[in-house]
Structure 1
């Protein structure tokens, strides 16, 4: 079975890379979710700080823009282009890459990559392994049976005490959840996600362009959602809240980015059918979300579970106040800049939206400023990168 290697050719190493330590990251995809975004953000910052970076992903070709971004920073990328983490070809190829690259640290991203990457690193003779947790629960893949997932959870729990030197959780709540599951508390470290505040920032030009493209008036109130149409996101709750909003505010609009109406369940389509569809806008997945958030007045998540959602950081960095369900670390992220509501409560979600939208122009601007300032002070990518590099040094220097 063929393995594509060095898809990204490094013409010359980054300045200061001679003799630098090397981190190899193993992840399923280059894009599509919060963990993937965080990985790319960190990798580019690590390179600028003199650490050599290697990324191994199961799939690379379907993420050309993300690959190009890594290439521009001089990152080595190996694309396995295989389906199935537990296939022999995957294990053999990944182990071979690790033996060839000889990294100082292997950083894995999310449960399946944690287990597979950790095992392969052990066989490759790389003892310094850092796992990465980015959700509160072990998420199943399509087609996985309950028995298969139960076995996988037990394998994760057992290996968590033997394979990784450290286990990073982006969420404090998720860290506690995994300790309860059986993960070793003494190996775990909370490092919150960080955001590139230069890329995600208030942008009046993007705000006007996006609204014009969607056919939304300049002065309309707009509430938006960005994410996969996955069961965990509870899009139906968002739509029920949107129904209330559109009834209460005749000039309001809602935007859902990440899917199309055909992706909705039957019940969700029924809720959609009751609304004025001229004020409901579906936007396919975007690789430039920094251009989308400024067009909103409120960003919202209706999820039943989250760890430390990157979309909330992105929206807040653009100065957009957020209303989410009270899950994961959302309340810690938002602070006093927005609101959290109980899971599954569409009425409370809509009420929180209406409360923010009813504020005066002066109050709205003050809230926008406060929202962005919170990201700059607490959740910058620079702060997160520093924490990761300190951890890697600690791991490398440990016996």
Structure 2
């Protein structure tokens, strides 16, 4: 925990964070960084509506209290709501911060009944593609309740704010971009993973990608684009990381790679050594049809990789002039961007990567993220006590 936030001098704060789950997602990672990097004057508690997940274990190792409500089906939601309400009545936190729609709904209702101000977490920038009907229904209910339940909402994305305004949300929103511990991605002690471990040559041009297997990530777009680009430049290799992207997985086998391009794909599944892998790669590629604030783009940039991104969520804002932005759902445009990146001289590509790392260091540090959350919470408490 750090004590460099002057706005909290002489001020103690207890925050209960309610999140749908604690798996390997971007929201979970942002919550983890917020908890472990918050000032010592802030006591963080994390409540997962489901289980502890991998980030629950990380949080507990860092000394953060984690409670799992173990919701297994909609039938258990009322009991979880009652348990959460009792917890809030007993512990009397200053603020409840929720993350994602189901926790916005259940955490928001519990906090409202308990008399604790709640800040919702808005992270999705596209509610039309790849979203379950049940999730859309919950988001719609949240839109109806947004006038009366939350005191404020924090979004990681400018486009997410715009999307939720159109969706009927009527709550004051503040954009607090995700922030990163740059030492994890830029440490001079980081040793790049050996290319030979993945059957890659030093002359190969490695495009890195990280995402879970999900329609929103539009891996069909990636497969079609890479196949087209590989046909013209066989130096290209594609490194795929993420849950569901294990070598031989049914999801991966169903993607429309050509037979030749499939031989140039290295699918390694979920990894905990992404900084080392990124230092082995030449560029990063995001193929998504929908995003809020894509953590993987900022993390790759922090590692010194230039990024090729689809224009979804705040991806173009993050990259700015340090990479290449193409329309979503357009394999031809994505393939052209891959070839353009491959054609750049090595020093020019490295220069783009250095500019990308500098942009993240200037705009997307974990300190800035923590400061943004603290300011919103203090504003909420000031209005409550006025």
Establish whether TM, by shorter chain, passes 0.5.
yes
SS of corresponding position for 2:142: helix
Are 1:242 and 2:234 matched, yes or no?
no
Aligned counterpart in structure 2 of residue 158 of structure 1, from 144, 148, 152: 144
> How do 1:297-336 residues align onto structure 2 when only pairs under 5 Å count?
297-336=282-321
TM-score calculated relative to the size of structure 2? 0.90
Give me the whole-angstrom Cα distance separating, in 1, the residues matched to 2:2 and 2:330. Answer: 50
Residues 162-194 of structure 1, C-alpha deviation per residue, up to 9 Å, x if partnerless? 111111111111101111111125x11111111
Residues 239-298 of structure 1, C-alpha deviation per residue, up to 9 Å, x if partnerless? 111112222222221011112343427752xx2352344321111112332232222211
Give me the whole-angstrom Cα distance separating, in 2, the residues matched to 1:61 and 1:328. Answer: 28
**1:75 Cα deviation from its structure 2 partner:** 1.2
Are 1:22 and 2:7 matched, yes or no?
no
Residues 297-347 of structure 1, C-alpha deviation per residue, up to 9 Å, x if partnerless? 111111111111111111111011111111111111000000111111111
Aligned counterpart in structure 2 of residue 122 of structure 1, from 83, 106, 112: 112
SS of corresponding position for 2:257: helix
Paired residues in the alignment total 376
The equivalent of 1:34 in structure 2 is 26
The equivalent of 2:176 in structure 1 is 191
CA RMSD of superposed structures (Å): 2.6
Are 1:342 and 2:333 matched, yes or no?
no
Are 1:74 and 2:63 matched, yes or no?
yes
Residues 197-224 of structure 1, C-alpha deviation per residue, up to 9 Å, x if partnerless? 1112276854243x23212112310112
Aligned counterpart in structure 1 of residue 361 of structure 2, from 373, 376, 387: 376
SS of corresponding position for 1:319: coil
Gaps of 5+ in 1: 1-12
Give me the whole-angstrom Cα distance separating, in 2, the residues matched to 1:252 and 1:150. Answer: 39
Are 1:214 and 2:198 matched, yes or no?
yes
Give me the whole-angstrom Cα distance separating, in 2, the residues matched to 1:84 and 1:188. Answer: 31
TM-score calculated relative to the size of structure 1? 0.87
Gaps of 5+ in 2: none
Asked if structure 2 preserves the Cα contact closer than 8 Å seen for 1:43 and 1:53, the reply is: yes
The equivalent of 2:163 in structure 1 is 177
Change (3 A) 1:203 1:350: farther
SS of corresponding position for 1:355: helix
The equivalent of 2:249 in structure 1 is 262
SS of corresponding position for 2:71: coil
> How do 1:143-154 residues align onto structure 2 when only pairs under 5 Å count?
146=133, 151-154=137-140
The equivalent of 1:367 in structure 2 is 352
Give me the whole-angstrom Cα distance separating, in 2, the residues matched to 1:188 and 1:317. Answer: 27
Give me the whole-angstrom Cα distance separating, in 1, the residues matched to 2:151 and 2:210. Answer: 34
Give me the whole-angstrom Cα distance separating, in 2, the residues matched to 1:329 and 1:99. Answer: 38
Give me the whole-angstrom Cα distance separating, in 2, the residues matched to 1:113 and 1:316. Answer: 30
Aligned counterpart in structure 1 of residue 48 of structure 2, from 57, 65, 72: 57
**1:105 Cα deviation from its structure 2 partner:** 0.4
Give me the whole-angstrom Cα distance separating, in 2, the residues matched to 1:141 and 1:342. Answer: 17
Asked if structure 1 preserves the Cα contact closer than 8 Å seen for 2:21 and 2:52, the reply is: no
